[in-house]
Structure 1
Amino acid sequence: MAHQNWTFGFDADDTLWQNEVFFRTTEAQFIELLADFADRDHLMNQLMEAESRNLARYGFGIKGFVLSMIESAIQVTDGRVDAATIARILDWGKEMLTHPVELLPGARAAVEAMAARGDVVLITKGDLLDQERKLALSGLGELFAAVEIVSDKRPDTYARIFGQRGARQSLMVGNSLKSDVIPAIEAGHWGVHVPHATTWYMEHAEPPIGHPRFRAIAQIDALSDLVDSL
C-alpha cells in the first residue's frame, strides 16, 4: 500500500518514552511514608479514588497526581498529616517533573520510518509544560509535522486532528487501548496497540478484537512491517 496520503499519530508517554514506571515508584514511596496510618490496600484505594475525582479538576499528569497524594494523606491521617510529610510529597513531584527522558527501544526508528511514509503527528495528553519539556528532551521533535497536547483523547479529538491533516487515511499508535486505540477506531481511523509493561489502571480496556481497523504488535519496532502489510 502507498502511504503518501496517510497521517500517522503517535502517543508519547509509554509509547515513545518511559512514564508510568515513575508514577508507580512514587506511589510505592507514598505507601511506605504513610504506612503507620493505613495499610497498603486502604492507601491505594484512597489514592485511586482521589485521582478519579480530581481528573476533571486537574487533568492528567504529575501535578494532579501530587495533589491527589496530598489529599489522600490528609484523609487517611484525619487531618493530622504534618508539613514535613506534605513537603516530601511535593519534592517527589518536583523530581518527577525534572526526570530525564528515557526513550523506549525502537521508538526513534519507528517515528523515522513513519515520517518517510507520510505525515507524523504527536498526540499526547497531560500537563502542557511537562509534555513540552519531555518532547524537547526526547530529541524527536523535528520528526513531527505537528504536535497536539490535549486534555483528553476522545473520538472527536482524533476526528479533529486527523481531519486537519487532510490525509486519505490515518493511523494512531499507542500503548493505551482506552485512549489511543479505541477512540481513534471509533473516529474512523486505524488503531495500533503497542502494550507497555506498566499501564495505569484508568487506561485499561478490552481490545476490540475482530475490528477490521484494529492491530496489535508486541514491540514498536514491528510497526513498519505492519503498516506495509495494510
Structure 2
Amino acid sequence: MKLENIQKNLYMIKKVKQYWSLVTFTTRSEIFTSSNYSLWFAPEKKENLKEIQLQKFNLKQIEEYLKKFTIQSIKMLIFEIYEWQTQMSNQGVLDINIFEKGWEQLFVQCLILTKFNGETLLNQKQIENILSFLKNNDFFTFKSNDALRSLMVKFSKLWSLEKYEKMMKQINLYGIIETPYMMEIIVQVLPKMKVKAFGIINSRVNF
C-alpha cells in the first residue's frame, strides 16, 4: 500500500464499486498503525467486509512449498510447449484435461520415484527420460526437435530444493519468505537474479 493511501478508505477513493462487485485487498500487517484499520478497506455495508490473516510459514512448510514448486516448474515448462504445439497444429482450443492426463502419466513414470540430488533439479538421464516420454506418449507426441532441445536446456537450469535453500540462507531471505505471497515472488525471481549477477561478473572480468 502506498503511503498516501494509509488511513484512507481504498474502496471509496479508488471507486472500486464502479468496476467490481467483489475485490480482494492484500497488504502487510506492518502498516496497520491504527486499531480501526479495517475501515480502510470496508465497503458501504461494513458487514460485507471479510478479513483473512495469512499465517507465517514455518521451516517445514517452506520446505514443502519448495518441493511442490520445483515439480510444478517442470510441469509449467512442458505446458508452454504443449500450448505452442496446439496452436501451431491448428487443433483448435487447448484441452487442459488432456494435458493433465498426460502429466499424470509422466509424473508416475518419470518423476514419482525420482531422487532429486544436487543443485540442479534434474540430471541428464532424468531429462532424457522425460523427453523420450514427451515424444512417444499419446497425449503429448512432441515432434519438434527445436522445442525438445529448448526444453532440455530449460530443464537443465531448474533449481533443486537444496539450491533454493542454500541461496536463501546465503542472502538471508528466510526473514521475508514467511508468507505464501512473498514465497511465490522469491522462488520465481531468485534464479533470474543469480543469472543476472553472473552476467555482470563475467562482463567485469572480460572488460
What's the TM-score bracket when you normalise by the shorter of the two chains?
0.3 to 0.5
Q: TM-score, normalised by structure 2?
A: 0.36
Relative to its length, the structure with more helix (as a share) is: 2
Higher RCO by CA contacts (8 Å cutoff, separation 6 or greater)? 1
User: Relative to total residues, which structure has the larger strand share, 1 or 2?
Assistant: 1
